[in-house]
């Protein structure tokens, strides 16, 4: 299979590249390297070089110069996120995702034949009012609909860009017959995730023995943490059974507060440290947890929170 992975050196992208190369697929990797990890630091199979082409450029440049190239599958991971601070403090930079997504869909629609497209949306696209301290519940796929008269307010420009990307996917499917599958991964984490994300940041503080261990905001905010390997496996298990335009949550369905995450990590790692919230730091919405009923029809997460904590801690300790 010929695969294009945009944002191939990012956290999600490089996991897909590894998986496709392990399967013997031919992979085109594109990344502008503003935040990506250099390939020599993660592309661990020397013989895989014959099956991949690495291009260091903006994905939009590729779309404008390689219209004739054909792929079976496009995995669109290119996005500007950078953690909660970036989402709240640099909203216009995050909004460049609107351009990335619109140009990707248009380029893919010109293919002859058109490729299958994996589009990564986000739970940030869900309405904020469903995730407040006084009103929250697990988020269902059909909490986002484009057929009614009201669209709920999503989370910052990042949420708006992903909501708009899903709207573009709807047109790509209905008007151009593009086969798009939409995924909303919740609190993805893994061994090589950037420290600006809460999971590795909290584990790093515990590994370092910081006392107290600081968690942002109140520490009571809840997230649904799922390992990156489960995200990739879920996509590969469902991409050929979902209908074009269908959306799928990827999550464990388990709410874990940042304080509980820190306490769990200390239990797993045998540490006894104080936990201190930092109300001066942003915490985002209060509760963001997946209703994963639909996902469980096809895929059940395999990596527990405790196992994930051990993996991340082991990687951080090895890197010291």
CATH of the domain at 19: 3.40.50.720
Confidence (pLDDT) at 36: 86
CA–CA dist 293, 1 (Å, integer): 30
Looking at the domain assignment, is residue 309 inside a domain?
no
Looking at the domain assignment, is residue 318 inside a domain?
no
- Choice between 26 and 148, residue whose per-residue pLDDT is larger: 26
Tens-digit pLDDT profile for residues 204-228: 999 999 999 999 999 999 999 999 9
Looking at the domain assignment, is residue 266 inside a domain?
no
CA–CA dist 314, 258 (Å, integer): 20
User: Of 38, 3, 39, 41, which is closest to residue 19 (Cα–Cα)?
Assistant: 3
**CA 191 to centroid of chain Cα atoms:** 14
pLDDT of 149 higher than 60: yes
Mean of the pLDDT values across residues 180-198? 93
Looking at the domain assignment, is residue 63 inside a domain?
yes
Mean of the pLDDT values across residues 3-16? 95
pTM: 0.93
Sheet holding 256-257, edge to edge: 256-257, 222-223, 287-288
Domain count, the chain: 1
Residue 63 belongs to what domain range?
2-190+225-252+289-302
The greatest distance separating any two alpha carbons of the chain, rounded to the nearest whole angstrom, comes to: 60
Looking at the domain assignment, is residue 218 inside a domain?
no
- Spatial neighbors of 71 by CB under 8 A, at least 6 apart, are 2, 3, 4, 28, 111, 115
pLDDT of 189 higher than 70: yes
Mean of the pLDDT values across residues 39-54? 70
pLDDT band, very low/low/confident/very high, at 319 (cuts 50, 70, 90): low
Confidence (pLDDT) at 35: 82
| pLDDT above 90: percentage of residues in the chain | 72
Tens-digit pLDDT profile for residues 158-182: 899 999 999 999 999 999 999 999 9
Looking at the domain assignment, is residue 18 inside a domain?
yes
CA–CA dist 320, 318 (Å, integer): 6
Mean of the pLDDT values across residues 58-68? 79
CA–CA dist 30, 86 (Å, integer): 23
Token output for 307: 């196992």
Beta strand residue intervals within 132-194, DSSP E: 179-185, 187-189
At residue 33, the 3 state secondary structure works out as coil
Looking at the domain assignment, is residue 70 inside a domain?
yes
- Give the dihedral sign, CA 8/98/224/272: positive
Token output for 4: 């294009």
Identify whether the C-beta of residue 224 lies closer than 8 Å to the C-beta of residue 289. Answer: yes
Token output for 180: 């798009």
Confidence (pLDDT) at 90: 64
Identify whether the C-beta of residue 147 lies closer than 8 Å to the C-beta of residue 155. Answer: no
Looking at the domain assignment, is residue 217 inside a domain?
no
Token output for 174: 């209905």
Beta strand residue intervals within 32-131, DSSP E: 52-56, 73-76, 116-120
CA dihedral 129, 135, 139, 142 (to 10 degrees): -60
pLDDT of 48 higher than 70: no
At residue 130, the 3 state secondary structure works out as helix
Tens-digit pLDDT profile for residues 225-267: 999 999 999 999 999 999 999 999 999 999 999 999 999 999 9
Identify whether the C-beta of residue 158 lies closer than 8 Å to the C-beta of residue 98. Answer: no
Cis, bond preceding 211 (omega within 30 deg of 0): no
């Amino acid at each position: 299979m010929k695969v294009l992975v945009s944002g191939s050196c990012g956290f999600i992208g490089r996991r897909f590249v590894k998986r496709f190369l392990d399967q013997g697929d031919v992979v085109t990797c594109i990344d502008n390297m503003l935040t990506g990890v250099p390939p020599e630091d993660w592309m661990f199979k020397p013989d895989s070089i014959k099956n991949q082409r690495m291009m260091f450029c903006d994905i939009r440049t590729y779309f404008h110069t390689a219209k004739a190239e054909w792929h079976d599958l496009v995995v669109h991971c290119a996005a500007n996120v950078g953690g909660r601070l970036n989402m709240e403090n640099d909203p216009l930079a995050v909004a460049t995702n609107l351009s990335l997504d619109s140009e990707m869909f248009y380029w893919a629609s010109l293919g002859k034949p058109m490729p299958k497209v994996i589009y990564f949306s986000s739970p940030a696209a869900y309405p904020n009012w469903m995730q407040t301290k006084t009103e929250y519940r697990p988020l269902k796929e059909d909490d986002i609909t484009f057929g009614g008269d009201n669209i709920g307010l999503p989370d910052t420009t990042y949420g708006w860009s992903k909501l708009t990307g899903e709207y573009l996917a709807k047109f790509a499917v209905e008007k151009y017959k593009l086969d798009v599958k939409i995924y909303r991964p919740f609190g993805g984490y893994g061994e090589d995730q950037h420290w600006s994300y809460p999971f590795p940041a909290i584990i790093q503080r515990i590994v370092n023995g910081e006392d107290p261990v600081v968690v942002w905001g109140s520490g009571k905010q809840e997230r649904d943490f799922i390992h990156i390997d489960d995200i990739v496996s879920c996509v590969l298990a469902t991409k050929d059974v979902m209908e074009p335009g269908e959306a799928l949550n990827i999550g464990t369905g388990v709410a874990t507060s940042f304080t509980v995450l820190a306490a769990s990590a200390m239990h797993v790692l045998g540490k006894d440290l104080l936990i201190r919230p930092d109300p001066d730091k942003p915490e985002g919405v209060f509760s963001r947890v997946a209703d994963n009923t639909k996902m469980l029809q096809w895929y059940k997460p395999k990596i527990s929170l405790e196992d994930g904590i051990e993996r991340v801690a082991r990687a951080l300790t090895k890197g010291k």
